[in-house]
């Protein structure tokens, strides 16, 4: 006769329950401590920041404030150096660490063969260009062959010659430049996804004027200027008021020339495969050539120059209004054409409804034909731009090895 298994005593059941709870607690604690659900190894990304102006400083502040968040994500951003046009600060261990003897021997061998030091392999470094300088182009072109990743907020490397451009984009996995157009808006990411799916983009139109912050004041932008003029204010009053409040560059013509918008348009056009240069883009400035910096001083421009433009601008605003339209300063990319200037647009369109300094981009493709893909939001500002740069840095983390 078989005996039935004895029922566990109450104390045994309580002991098992306590043990299970303790094991569950331990597992939870391990999970919380673990930076990566798959591994305890941390991604270490060494960064060299070029440019410590408004965007560069804001990026450093973002990196510091996000330490805890990044640790939870299993990432450590190690800033090994910061440089501007006049000086350089590097981490102490960069100075004290040395190349081992094997590496020194490899250097001698490579140079004896007449080869470049880039043959030694990957530097394992990310260069972040937050400057507004064209002088970084030579450096970027050299280090890209040495395995460096490059993150850009600076538009000038991407709007240089086609030769320089081809050099940079020849390593697409190691290049990120979302913040060059639209600051933190997902412009590049959206375009790349559309193009990667085989959906050809045949038209882009957008208001891409930038906003820059100085002493917490928003500088004058073309979008802001057009909004104020649409409300009936003379162009000269808008420009003078902005200048007196410190909203513009010392020479307001830097904001009114349209060159910044043209650079952004060139970046977008080249992304679509257009092999064009900056000098092939038709740019409409808000002032004529005879009022340029080489012909007229800032004082003369503000005193009599810009006043002479009021009637023409007001007539254009009135004509657009009679047609049920509004004036907007936009960039248009269609076919081989890339133009920057003032256009009449329907009031009820995304660009027609635009106010202030927001950016709006309409993308037309085979899939987005009758109803374009519209991207809108704060398209500039140090905080937004720096956040976009930081997101780009994190986007390349898989290219760096994990460390204990």
Residue 214: pLDDT band (50, 70, 90) is very low
**Residue 51 annotated as binding?**
yes
pLDDT score of 84: 87
CA distances from 261 to 239, 274, 342 (A): 18, 17, 12
pLDDT score of 378: 81
Among the ranges given (41-45, 116-120, 293-297, 349-353), the one the predictor scored with the smallest mean pLDDT: 116-120
**Residue 265 annotated as binding?**
no
What average pLDDT does range 289-294 have in this prediction? Answer: 93
Domains and their CATH numbers in the chain: 42-183+385-403 (3.40.50.720), 187-380 (3.30.360.10)
**Tens of pLDDT, residues 219-258:** 346 777 787 888 889 999 988 887 776 656 678 888 789 9
Asked whether the beta carbons of 340 and 282 are under 8 A apart, the reply is yes
370 is catalytic: no
What average pLDDT does range 355-363 have in this prediction? Answer: 84
**Tens of pLDDT, residues 319-335:** 999 999 999 999 999 99
**Residue 130 annotated as binding?**
no
CA distance 235 to 237: 6
Residue 158: pLDDT band (50, 70, 90) is very high
pLDDT score of 38: 44
**Residue 52 annotated as binding?**
yes
pLDDT score of 219: 37
pLDDT exceeds 90 at position 374: yes
Active-site hit among 264, 295, 319, 370: 264
CA distance 352 to 350: 5
Of 165, 191, 382, which is closest to residue 272 (Cα–Cα)? Answer: 191
pLDDT exceeds 90 at position 73: yes
**Residue 300 annotated as binding?**
no
Q: What is the pTM of this model?
A: 0.81
Query: Cβ–Cβ contacts within 10 Å for residue 108, how many?
Result: 9
CA distances from 150 to 84, 157, 364, 384, 396 (A): 17, 11, 29, 19, 9
**Residue 356 annotated as binding?**
no
Among the ranges given (219-223, 334-338, 340-344), the one the predictor scored with the smallest mean pLDDT: 219-223
Percent of residues, the chain, with pLDDT higher than 90: 57
**Tens of pLDDT, residues 108-156:** 887 788 776 666 666 689 999 999 899 999 999 988 888 899 999 999 9
Residue 212: pLDDT band (50, 70, 90) is very low
Residue 25: pLDDT band (50, 70, 90) is low
pLDDT exceeds 60 at position 217: no
**Residue 43 annotated as binding?**
no
**CB contact set of 280 (below 8 Å; sequence gap of 6+):** 338
Q: If you average pLDDT over each of 43-47, 61-65, 113-117, 298-302, which comes out highest?
A: 61-65
**Tens of pLDDT, residues 136-146:** 999 999 888 88
**Residue 305 annotated as binding?**
no
Q: In this predicted model, which residue has the larger pLDDT, 357 or 141?
A: 141
pLDDT score of 96: 60
Of 78, 181, 127, 178, which is closest to residue 391 (Cα–Cα)? Answer: 178
**CB contact set of 380 (below 8 Å; sequence gap of 6+):** 183, 209, 210, 211, 212, 221, 357, 359
């Amino acid at each position: 006769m078989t005996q039935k298994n004895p029922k566990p005593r109450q104390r045994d059941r309580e002991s098992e329950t306590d043990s299970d709870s303790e094991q569950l607690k331990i597992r939870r604690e391990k999970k919380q401590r673990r930076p990566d659900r798959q591994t305890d190894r941390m991604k270490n990304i060494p960064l060299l920041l070029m440019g410590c102006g408004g965007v560069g400083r804001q990026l450093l502040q973002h990196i510091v404030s996000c330490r805890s968040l990044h640790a939870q994500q299993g990432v450590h951003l190690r800033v090994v150096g910061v440089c501007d046009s006049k000086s350089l600060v590097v981490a102490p261990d960069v100075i004290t660490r040395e190349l081992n003897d094997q590496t020194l021997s490899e250097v001698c061998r490579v140079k004896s063969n007449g080869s470049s030091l880039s043959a030694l392999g990957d530097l394992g470094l990310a260069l972040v260009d937050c400057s507004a300088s064209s002088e970084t182009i030579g450096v970027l072109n050299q280090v890209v062959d040495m395995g460096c990743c490059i993150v850009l907020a600076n538009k000038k490397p991407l709007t240089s010659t086609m030769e320089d451009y081809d050099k940079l984009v020849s390593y697409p996995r190691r290049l990120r430049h979302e913040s060059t157009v639209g600051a933190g808006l997902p412009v590049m990411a959206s375009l790349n996804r559309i193009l990667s799916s085989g959906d050809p983009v045949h038209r882009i139109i957008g208001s891409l004027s930038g906003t820059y912050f100085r002493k917490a004041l928003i500088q004058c932008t073309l979008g802001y200027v057009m909004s104020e003029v649409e409300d009936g204010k003379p162009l000269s009053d808008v420009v003078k008021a902005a200048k007196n409040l410190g909203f513009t560059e010392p020479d307001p013509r830097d904001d009114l020339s349209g060159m910044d918008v043209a650079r952004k348009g060139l970046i977008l056009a080249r992304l679509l495969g257009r092999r064009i240069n900056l000098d092939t883009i038709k740019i409409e400035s808000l002032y004529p050539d005879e009022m340029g910096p080489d012909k007229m001083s800032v004082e003369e421009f503000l005193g009599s120059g810009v006043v002479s433009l009021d009637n023409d601008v007001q007539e254009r605003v009135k004509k657009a209004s009679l047609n049920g339209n509004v004036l907007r300063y936009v960039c248009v990319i269609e076919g081989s054409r890339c133009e920057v200037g003032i256009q009449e647009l329907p009031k009820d369109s995304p660009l027609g409804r635009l106010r202030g300094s927001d950016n709006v981009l309409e993308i037309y493709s085979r899939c987005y034909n009758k109803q374009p893909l519209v991207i809108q939001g704060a398209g500039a500002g140090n905080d937004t731009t720096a956040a976009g740069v930081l997101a780009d840095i994190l986007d390349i983390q898989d290219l760096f090895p994990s460390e204990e």
